[in-house]
Structure 1
């Protein structure tokens, strides 16, 4: 079973779609600081999804905590350059619905 941590709001319902595919999903609270990510289980997670580009600074923290984690930016916003090299997938919800993304991630 895939373990997924989501940072940011989830208006498209990606978390629900991931759970429907069998993933275990947790949410990092607040601004997704290191303690927020650790509380959400980032150390043991397989995938880290960021739904708000404003939380992009959480990506290096996630990678530092778990070097094998797969990073997914699922946002309509522009992704900062410093994250593009770490993100395995940058997806606009207007292009791919949450069910399709969940199917591919799990």
Structure 2
């Protein structure tokens, strides 16, 4: 499984994904089109966003890779303009990073 990760990782989700065998591309800074491409969004299975302020990147990631699974791992609400996108929103206060990583990697294994 390959994931692209955008936003801060205070919960350690990127490391949890790596621990379960995932390749994780990290967006450094703003998750715009060039940054998503540099992080490997074209061949990613999952796009993880932890900063609701960068919600525009969800639309961009889907434009670049229409089948990508999007996970918003943030306590903040996403803006209404992404409400038409299929996004799995998870609050870190309710789901720890290990549980989220386990679910994402298991889901990717069953899809293959």
Is this contact kept in 2: 1:73–1:87, CA < 8 A?
Answer: no
- Tell me what 2:70 maps to: 71
CA drift at 1:52: 0.4
- Tell me what 1:46 maps to: 45
Bigger mean CA offset, 36-45 vs 25-34:
25-34
Root-mean-square deviation (Å):
0.9
CA drift at 1:88: 3.1
The TM-score with structure 1 as length reference comes to 0.95
- Unpaired runs of 5+ in structure 1? none
Is this contact kept in 2: 1:3–1:45, CA < 8 A?
Answer: yes
- Tell me what 1:26 maps to: 25
Q: Please give the secondary structure, in 1, of the residue aligned with 2:78.
A: coil
CA drift at 1:81: 1.7
Count of matched residue positions in the alignment of Structure 1 and Structure 2: 105
Aligned-partner Cα distance in 1 for 2:31–2:84: 20
Shift >3 Å, 4+ stretches: none
Greater helix content: 2
- Unpaired runs of 5+ in structure 2? 106-112
CA drift at 1:87: 3.6
Matches within 5 A, 1:1-106: 2-106=1-105
Aligned-partner Cα distance in 1 for 2:86–2:5: 14
Aligned-partner Cα distance in 2 for 1:100–1:24: 17
